[in-house]
């Protein structure tokens, strides 16, 4: 029944004598702030239309060796994460450290100590491999890597020849890990600009780890 108050419980509550005075008091108080009520229209269709108009998908097909890229657009890029790596080996043992920093500045730091003897270059590769694995676990698509090892950077970019069998295996491992990323770049930086990663690798051989 349209006139049955039980069918409209909210209306019945608002018309109760004990609540009418309370509502009137709050009406007076809120009236000072010029609050206006506007019904919210449906947004789903409009948001989808705006997204398609502003970020159209593109189907690019170049050669047989180049896979088809679907749904890529420069107007809606994935955020780029930054990875700093460092590794070393001395009488205290082999260790590595890396920092993974997100686009909003949040950084995760890791200090690694190995149970096996490794050279400086191998420790550097171990830091890179560990950092790449963490980035993949987090679902990161765009990654910029910085290292103070010219050898590791050059081998990873294919600029330096990899003759040592062990280093060649590391190089292949990195190549496999890099494949899923939409964007990957590795760059060489001076050791002074990689101080935090170096400090983490030193921490790995301390008694506190």
Tell me which residue range forms the domain holding 95.
80-203
Percent of the chain with pLDDT over 90: 38
Does residue 65 sit in the same domain as residue 109? no
Q: How far apart are CA 41 and CA 63, in angstroms?
A: 47
Does residue 95 sit in the same domain as residue 145? yes
- CB–CB of 86/200 below 8 Å? yes
Does residue 113 sit in the same domain as residue 181? yes
Instruction: For residue 118, give the 3-state DSSP assignment.
Output: coil
Does residue 92 sit in the same domain as residue 161? yes
Q: How far apart are CA 52 and CA 33, in angstroms?
A: 39
pLDDT, residue 95, reads 86
Q: How many domains does the chain have?
A: 2
Does residue 168 sit in the same domain as residue 71? no
pLDDT digit string, tens, across residues 158-182: 999 888 999 999 999 999 999 999 9
- Considering the domain boundaries, does residue 152 fall inside one? yes
- Helices and strands in the chain: count of H runs, count of E runs: 7, 7
pLDDT of the chain along its 209 residues, tens only? Answer: 445 545 555 555 556 555 556 566 666 666 666 666 555 455 444 544 554 455 444 443 333 343 323 233 344 467 999 999 998 887 778 889 999 999 988 899 888 888 888 888 999 999 999 999 999 999 999 999 999 999 999 999 999 988 899 999 999 999 999 999 999 999 999 999 998 888 887 775 554 44
- CB–CB of 135/83 below 8 Å? yes
Q: What are the Cα distances from residue 122, in Å, to 8, 35, 67, 99, 113?
A: 74, 65, 32, 18, 13
Does residue 152 sit in the same domain as residue 179? yes
Would you state the structure tokens that stand for residue 76, as one six-digit string?
A: 């809606």
Does residue 59 sit in the same domain as residue 144? no
Does residue 119 sit in the same domain as residue 51? no
CATH number of the domain at 98, please: 3.30.420.10
- Considering the domain boundaries, does residue 8 fall inside one? no
pLDDT, residue 137, reads 95
The secondary structure of residue 191, as a DSSP letter, is: G
Widest Cα–Cα separation across the chain: 90
- CB–CB of 83/127 below 8 Å? no
pLDDT, residue 26, reads 61
Q: How far apart are CA 128 and CA 143, in angstroms?
A: 12
Task: Let me know if 93 is exposed, middle or buried by CB neighbors in 10 A (0-12, 13-18, 19+).
Answer: middle
């Amino acid at each position: 029944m349209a006139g049955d108050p039980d069918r409209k419980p909210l209306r019945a509550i608002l018309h109760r004598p004990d609540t009418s005075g309370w509502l009137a008091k709050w009406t007076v108080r809120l009236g000072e702030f010029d609050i206006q009520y506007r019904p919210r229209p449906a947004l789903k269709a409009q948001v989808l239309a705006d997204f398609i108009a502003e970020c159209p998908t593109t189907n690019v097909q170049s050669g047989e060796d180049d896979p088809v890229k679907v749904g890529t657009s420069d107007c809606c890029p994935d955020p780029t994460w930054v990875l700093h790596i460092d590794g070393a080996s001395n009488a205290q043992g082999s260790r590595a450290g890396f920092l993974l920093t997100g686009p909003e500045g949040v950084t995760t730091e890791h200090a690694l100590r190995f149970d096996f003897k490794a050279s400086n270059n191998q420790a550097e590769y171990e830091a890179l491999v560990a950092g790449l694995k963490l980035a993949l676990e987090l679902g990161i698509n765009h990654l910029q890597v910085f290292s103070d090892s010219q050898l590791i950077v050059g081998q990873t970019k294919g600029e330096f020849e990899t003759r040592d069998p062990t280093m060649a295996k590391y190089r292949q491992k990195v190549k496999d890990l890099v494949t899923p990323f939409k964007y990957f770049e590795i760059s060489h930086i001076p050791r002074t600009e990689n101080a935090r990663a170096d400090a983490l690798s030193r921490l790995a051989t301390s008694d506190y780890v």
